Amino acid sequence: MIYLASESPRRRRLLKEAGWVFRIVKSRYSERPFAHSSPARWVCDHAAGKALSAAARLKSGLILAADTIVFDRGEVIGKPKGLKDAFRILGSLQGRWHCVYTGVALVWVREGRIRRKRVFSERTKVHIRAMTPQDMRRYFKRIDPLDKAGAYAIQQKRGSVVDGCIGSFSNAVGLPMERLERLLSR
């Protein structure tokens, strides 16, 4: 059985679209900033923390956990703290390229013990088109920027603010499906 240690609707949708059967398991892991950590290490450490926390509650199965951040000009950008923060974040990203990192942790549990663990990260470059404040207001009426790192939804088709993506699109949504499926098919 596969257990997803995430409540992200985007991750659930990606897995369902790929035909995976899974159950949600809650992780009690509490995210915290890691001083002097690279973005790839940051997301891997958080993903592993979530997976290990969930693994402690299961007898057997495969736990999948992930963490996604936006990284721009040396700064980790998470979810906005409010609408004003969302305007600030999207305003700073617009008209430029930035990176989206997702860390993925896979933990195999059997008989209540961790038998194997695999952690990796994926990076995608994303370009946000230039926008006016009015454009941003209209955009925020279509999506909820408060539950998205970087205050935007790359998967939004109509009225998207993204006009370029280099790398895994699904990674920028929240789970690098291509790499994950290759890994699990072995």
Catalytic residue IDs: 67
Least Cα distance to 2 among 23, 25, 18, 16 occurs for: 23
Count CB-CB contacts under 10 A for residue 140: 18
Least Cα distance to 70 among 169, 151, 146 occurs for: 151
181: helix, strand or coil: helix
137: helix, strand or coil: helix
| Strand spans (E) along the chain | 2-4, 23-24, 61-72, 75-77, 97-110, 113-128, 162-166
C-alpha torsion sign, points 33, 34, 35, 36: negative
